[in-house]
Amino acid sequence: MSVVQLLPRTEQPVAPSSVDAAGIVSPTRAERLPERQDLDARAESDRYAMDRAFHATLARFTGGISPVALSLAYLDWGAHLAAAPQRQMELARSALRDTGRLLEAASHAISPDQKPWSVIQPQGRDRRFSEPQWENVPFNLLAQAFLLGERWWHDATRGVRGVSRTNEAIVEFSVRQLLDMLAPSNFAVTNPEVLEKTFQSGGENFVFGWQNWCSDLMQLLSAGKPVDDEQFVVGRTVAVSRGKVVYRNDLMELIQYHPTTAKVRPEPILIVPAWIMKYYILDLSPQNSLVRYLTGQGFTVFAISWRNPDSKDREVAFDDYRKLGVMAALTAIGRIVPDRKVHALGYCLGGTLLSIAAAAMARDGDNRLGTITLLAAQTDFTEAGELTLFINESQVAFLEDIMWERGYLDTTQMAGAFRLLRSNDLIWSRLSHDYLMGERTPPSDLMVWNADATRLPYRMHSEYLRKLFLDNDLAEGRYHVDERNISLSDIHAPMFVVGTLKDHVAPWRSVYKIHYQVDADVTFLLTSGGHNAGVVAPPGEPGHSYQVMTKAADAPYVGRDEWVKLAPHVEGSWWPEWSKWLEQRSGERCDPPKIGLEDASGLPDAPGNYVHT
């Protein structure tokens, strides 16, 4: 019997879950993950056991990056550069020209007419040399020499004829990571801010920096949450919106939130977060909780809270998240709020999953979704940013061998990959600030949530990387659900799609491709900020702005660059814009629905138990 057959249908009662002595509700067999015995996969595992063990050991020294993939990229770039004498001469002339300009600036360094940054200036987003101490000699010359070298290497790794775009991007990215590590701001003797702090404090900054380093090391070894997060505790100060777990299976808990208005819109909202993050990114502190905002606008809100997998979940498949996540949640909501359309929201990977579920539902004539909202979610992965640089056959096979040892991808490897995308801000600036300056940035709810990482099951992550990132099956019509093809073009429900301007995980230009993939009205909104801070943008918080424009299903396509020119700018949070869009597609207000079902009486209040796993 398939998992789909085991899932409860709307018209069928769900058998109540059993409660153990500790008060933990155990799911019924119908709510459990399937038990797989893939003999071919296990035979292959035995066949390559030594190779897998070797790769898993090697990964500890390479940061999870396949040395073969990196070597092939450098071989491609180096061989083509060696066979390009004219390009070599251009680079040589550039190096001589920059050296001459720097030497000339050095010869006039003490002249009163000599201005700092006369040779080269930091880029607008580069804050490493923004303090006035860097305008003094010799630190200004040192910073300019570094910036000149950085620019030269950027030119050297790009524009070599014959090098594949992917390999060129890998070489440029890896060289940039090395240069970021060697920046003069990372070393005490070449950083004037650190030297000034040392002189003023009598070296006390190094004592505090040592304490910070030891604290971080102990935290890393214990694999726990940050030691200074007492003020941000799940269920006490964050994730505090009143609600109750109304359904649970082996993969997720479904939370229903209490209404905060006398009347509510009849259509409930279902939030589908990514399982690479804890759900409470959308229910942080009360002042920046999207859940709290929605209930205050008169919506009934449900949210999925994924269980953090462990080694026993190695065979959990990508489609299990659709069946036991989105589909099971819709069935449970249908029992609580029967005969109502659902406003479905998917965030990041949860949005990709929701798109797949919506396409399969449309194919099968299931019309329970009234609208679909995607937040920083991709459905085409050909322009998925620097995160995809190492997503090739060599790297995916290497990652599979890493995961095979434990049955999941560890939290540190996923967090490390995201930090590399913004290494200046998330790695090296922290090194200087915390360990050399001896200071600490006060913790925030978003920082603490970001450190509350999750694991990824072996089979799910392998399928995700291969089917979506590597082969792009969803965008190209090859993706299968229940052994049949699905197409995003079958989706006709109105869509509200949010991209974030500084997104390094789901670049907005990639998110924008939904316009020509679905046959639906698409309201696209581009908001300021990044992947997380751009989404968590409550009204009243300064610094937020957005552009928004709607394309009807039968309207001609508008290109991305043209869209930026045409879409009007609005200052403030995008949340009210989305709330207004939802209200226009909702019915008249009515009495709030009941909270949960009678057979869910043994389940805990929000935020539930899975968020603590």
540-567 confidence digits (pLDDT tens): 999 999 999 999 999 999 999 999 999 9
Residue 39 pLDDT exceeds 70: no
Among 127-136, 441-450, 551-560, name the one with the lowest average pLDDT: 441-450
| Average pLDDT of span 257-286 | 95
pLDDT interval class at 513 (50, 70, 90): very high
Residue with the bigger pLDDT between 249 and 444: it is 249
Specify the range with the lowest mean pLDDT, choosing from 289-298, 380-389, 500-509.
Answer: 380-389
Straight-line distance from the first to the last Cα atom of the chain, in angstroms, rounded to the nearest whole number = 30
DSSP line for 535-590: TS--TT-TT-EEEEEEE-TTSPP--HHHHHHHSPEEES-SHHHHHHHHHHTS---B
For residue 62, what are the CA distances in angstroms to 186, 399, 411?
22, 12, 16
Average pLDDT, stretch 125-145? 91
Can you tell me the mean pLDDT for 372-378? Answer: 97
244 SS3 class: strand
| Helices 139-156 & 165-181 angle (0-180, nearest 10) | 160
Q: How far apart are CA 492 and CA 504, in angstroms?
A: 29
The domain ranges of the chain are 66-201, 243-382+472-612
Specify the pLDDT at position 26: 43
> What pLDDT score does 147 carry?
96
Q: Does domain 243-382+472-612 have CATH number 1.20.58.1030?
A: no
Three-state secondary-structure class, residue 590? strand
The widest CA-to-CA distance across the chain, in whole angstroms, is 85
Contact 461, 403 (CB under 8 A): yes
The pLDDT value given to residue 107: 87
* 158-183 per-position pLDDT tens digit: 999 999 988 998 899 889 989 999 99
Strands, E, within 9-142: which ranges? 18-19, 25-26
Residue of higher predicted confidence among 383 and 219: 383
What average pLDDT does this structure show over 77-83?
96
Question: Which residue is listed with tokens 């603590």?
Answer: 612
Helix (H) or strand (E) holding 149: helix 139-156
Which residues are catalytically annotated?
A: 348
Digit-coded pLDDT (tens) for 327-360: 999 999 999 999 999 999 999 999 999 999 999 9
Is residue 1 predicted with pLDDT exceeding 50?
no
Higher pLDDT, 22 or 305: 305
User: Do β-strands 18-19 and 408-409 pair in parallel, antiparallel, or remain unpaired?
Assistant: unpaired
Rounded average pLDDT over 352-372 = 97
pLDDT computed for residue 452 by the predictor: 85
Question: 26 has which bridge partners?
Answer: 18
Residue 158: DSSP 8-state: S
Rounded-to-integer distance, Cα 158 and Cα 162, Å: 11
With a cut of 80, say whether residue 59 has pLDDT above it.
Answer: no
In this predicted structure, the answer to whether residue 212 has a pLDDT above a threshold of 50 is yes
pLDDT for the residue 134: 94
Tokens of 394: 């060599």
Distances (CA, A) of 7 to 32, 34, 248: 9, 11, 12
Cβ proximity of 282 and 303 under 8 Å: yes
pLDDT at 525 over 60: yes
Task: State how beta strands 301-306 and 252-257 pair.
Answer: antiparallel
**Whether residue 589 has pLDDT greater than 70:** yes
405, 52 Cβ separation under 8 angstroms = yes
pTM here is 0.86
pLDDT at residue 474 is higher than 90 = yes
pLDDT at 22: 32
- Per-residue pLDDT of 4-25, as tens digits, reads 333 333 333 333 444 433 333 4
Q: Does pLDDT of 576 surpass 90?
A: yes
pLDDT in tens, 578-588: 999 999 999 99
Q: Place 67 in a pLDDT band, splitting at 50, 70 and 90.
A: confident
Q: Is the pLDDT of residue 597 over 90?
A: no
